[in-house]
Chains A and B, each alone.
Chain A
Amino acid sequence: MFLMFLDTLSELWIWQLLGRMHPLIVHFPIAVLVVAFLLELLTVRGKRSELRAGIRWLVYIGASFSLMAVLVGLMLAYGANYPESTLNLHQWSGIATAIAALLAAWLMYRADSSGQKKDLNIYRGALGVTVLLLTFAGHFGASLTHGSDYITEVLPWNYETLSEGEFGELLAEVAEHREMGMVAEQHLNEVNIGVRRIFAHSCYRCHASDDMEGGLALDNEEAVMAGGDGGPVITPGDPDDSELMRRLLLPAGHEDAMPQRGRALFSDEVELIRMWIELGAHWSDEEVQTFREAEMALSKPEPPQRSTEFENPIDRFVDDYFEEQGIRWPESVDDGLFMRRVYMDVIGLLPEPDELEEFVSDTSPDKRDRLIDSLLNRKHDYTQHSLSFWNDLLRNAYIGTGFITGGRKQITDWLYDALENNKPYNRMVSELVSPDEKSEGFIRGIQWRGDVNASQTTEMQAAQNLSQSFLGVNLKCASCHNSFVSNWSLEEAYSLAAVFSDTLLAIERCDEPTGNFAEPGFLYSELGEVDKELPTDGRLNQLADIVTQNANGRLYRTIANRHWQRLMGKGLVEPVDEMDTKPWNQELLDWLAADLIDHDYDQKYLMYSILRSRTYQLPSVGLNAEQAGVPSDEFVFSGPLRKRLTAEQFTDALTQLAAPVYSSVAYDPFDTQIAEASWIWFDALEDGRNVFAPPGQYYLRHTFELPAENIDEARLLVSVDERFELYLNGEMISEGNDWRQVERIDVSGHLTTGENILAVEAEKGGTTAEPAGVLLNLQITQSDGGWHEVSSNNEWKIINQEPDPAWIVAGFDDNDWQTVRSFGSSLDNKYWGRLVEFTHEASGERLQFVRASLVENDDFQKAMGRPTREIVTTKRDLDPTLLQALELTNGELVNDVLSRGADRWIREYGDNPDEMIRQIYLRSLSRTPTDREARIAGEMLAQVPGKETVQDLLWAIIMKPEFQIIY
């Protein structure tokens, strides 16, 4: 009864008018009560009693107005359309505020009458509570007026959100034309597109073809006209008879009200839908673009010519850009900084001090161009540096998940060759998309044992990786359901995956079969069709042609942008994998991409152009984290960004400055001939299973026969993890404590005719069982042409208790000793890798040192930001962390390298500390130390001379941001 009365009442205009005055009335008590409270605070401890009279009035007024606000608020709430839960919170906190305010007023009155201090404090407490409640009420009220999703609506997937009043102009314009009796086709289209945008933002989550709640989809004409389970939802021409309108107009909280999730539609949105139905619910042929899409076609813009100062087209674009942005060209960096930067960027190494000195003293004007040229031509250095970037981009790894069951394949051989020979980019892509057996690893993906999620089949991985790596398109969302963050649909993602599939590919939505099958095709059908009748090879061939054609501007923009990002620290488009984002300079991007095509897809030429530009040679810019993260459409370019050394750059620099960090490779481009032998150790068993032997002392021996003594040459290689002493026929011939240091010994003087005996006393330290082993190879050439090879293998004997001292000579009975267990070959080993120094080869092209890009990922590399390459990585996480700092401060690897490095520096400059400091600075930072730096380091060396101090100096240098950042 009462409700009916309210219903009637709420129709009255005066009711609504009063209700709408609620926001006006509500601000008054807020201000009044807050001021009263603040003034009250000033009177604490009996001060400023003159305020009392004023406060009294403020409290009374505040209390009565809060009561009014509540009454008027209830009127407003009843007639309108607000989310119920927030409304309740607001309503009750508002009512509570009013009650508290009234109570405070009464308590104040009481305190005034009694004059008791206690009563005064009670009143003050009540006033405080009132203000606190007011805070809550105010907050929920704010949520109401601005939508309960005023936090969530700023989330990225709501980014292109529609704003209130957006359709006001359109509504007015079309209304005007209707009055005149002529609504043009164009208007009908615009109205429809508007309606569809509203549908996309507010309705698709539940009502789209791939998720039809209530049997209703709103993303295509047929479905909209067909309606849902309950029948049609619109009656063209008659909004009042349309279920859709009825639902939109129901009060919030009603169980039929729409949308049920997200904000209620704005009034102009509802009006637009009403108008659309009135006008006959016309459906436009135009596609609705919910998210921005970059243009496909590529034409080469003419570089602007503002002044004659700049020749390089890049600089001319940037000059124009700087002019627009009001940025003045700074001076280029000096030779030292430039040299360190360009070395790191092109070959990933520090310049040698003598190269540096020569370059600085060179006075020819084109010396920088020549340097760039020469670095790009250092084929192996360039390749070994670039390899890391490409391995990240193509998800190529030496170790990782999937290999264990044969579900993954490397492409390293192919990739190294492509980089070394600067293979044209279109051919690279083509060979990856339509591969031979050397390059097929890329599209074969990673196959774990067992069943995988439908969005992670190898075909889908291929589609995702091709899109991300080459086109800057993210298909990951769309491979499970129509994307909420891009225009890609499930069907389109499957269509690309189907190109890679040998069998018919069933479409699954969020792992549930949809009953449909995918038609093979490319994402951008305007570039060409894939013939589904062809076998997989043929389709891949076709796909490769479609992707690499010049008309596919996306492919070339994407790679041009990646190179720009590598060299300049931030792409023209960022994020680099979202190429639909607006670049900060479209023309420059287009020019770079078109220029790449014009120069036969030569990536080195592209790099050469960028490196030669004054833009590249500008001083670097340091940003804060927030600035560094902005997308390109908000970014203002003012120079290359500072880049942190990658794990590989840092490691190689450490090798150059101190000592080799690695000695085993996962991939050896020179295929150095490694001497064959097995890593052997104690065969420990637990429950009948092989386990690593516990740490401790072990004894190994091996007897071999030599027929005659006419020995020309006898060369022995040995490496032991961890500490060892090696005896040949009773004499100690070598010892060591680092398996990475291969000992080479000429043993021709120690061999005898007949029985010879090799004996190794070895020890593994530590507290847990870890891999340990002995690796040995001995090659003997005799003057009669005879050749013998002895190596560590499973004929050797081992024992874990100290034997009789005679064990190192021939004739000792080792029958009760155990046979060793082999832990794999020297050529390719799970634990020690391929130890490149374990070779008898003296000459030939060899690795200068084992570069980090050629080794397996380990804890150190990982701590320094090298990704595991389980997924495509296009930007590394290079933010310093505590774990990383710990690794650098007390990690074994760094300390060991620095300790060996200290030996080297003392060997070279031990008698001249000043020169040592100068050379360390030149070597590590490409500059000489300032006087103060030289003094600080010098005093330290003088105070505590010795190896440890040199080691600590090296440590302090490599921890400097100046060492770890490319300025």
Chain B
Amino acid sequence: MPAPISVREISKSFFDEGRGEIHAVNAVSFECREGEVFGLLGANGAGKTTTLRMLSTIIAPSSGSASILGHDVVTDAENVRKNLGFYSASTALYPRLTARETIKFFAQINQYPPGRVTERVNYLIERFGITKYADSRVDRLSSGMKQKVSIARTVAHDPRIVIFDEPTVGLDVLNALEVQDSIRQLRSEGKTIIFSTHIMSEAEKLCDRIAIIHGGRILACDTLANLRDSSGQHYLEDIFIHHVRDRA
């Protein structure tokens, strides 16, 4: 059975007037298995967001290839997006739509079967516990409520793949826990999830497999148990430092 997410030697370079050519991602390869939570663990500027942006078709790779459920991220971008939910802490919701309108819009535009949109919207409202404020405008919601609406809109079209790019950045502990619970729930529903973070404890708790990314390259990629074995370290933080120092 082919891997739902396959990344082969993918690279991304940018040109900056001050710094010249920057290799943000350098020949990164990995595969995600059906129904697993795959973690991209790295410090700020390691290339996590750029990699996920390429997978979600926001930007095109400079070289290499990637596919989601067999659809190429460059040549078949629309089908990639149809099967993908993209969540990032840095993205926001439309402030002037209500929670219900937001979820409905994303379900419709992301090609959820038209006859079942209302049913899906009601289900998500119930499931994420946003019934009370479903008809309130998003800009009048608290950050915790917005978080829930954000996750609901990410999965509004019931995608098989969900990308979480640093989902807990800037959140308080309780809201961060809510996001982590949502990720666990999605895994239990059989979704394949890529999750990027620089918080070691989060990766430890949530990920089935972890890829350590640094300087635009993947330094190690395995289950936590295997990473412990291969590095001789117990804590993920030590494992991370072990690999980063090893490369330096």
Partners in one complex: no
Q: Which B residues lie at the A interface, using CB under 8 A?
A: none
Q: Which A residues lie at the B interface, using CB under 8 A?
A: none
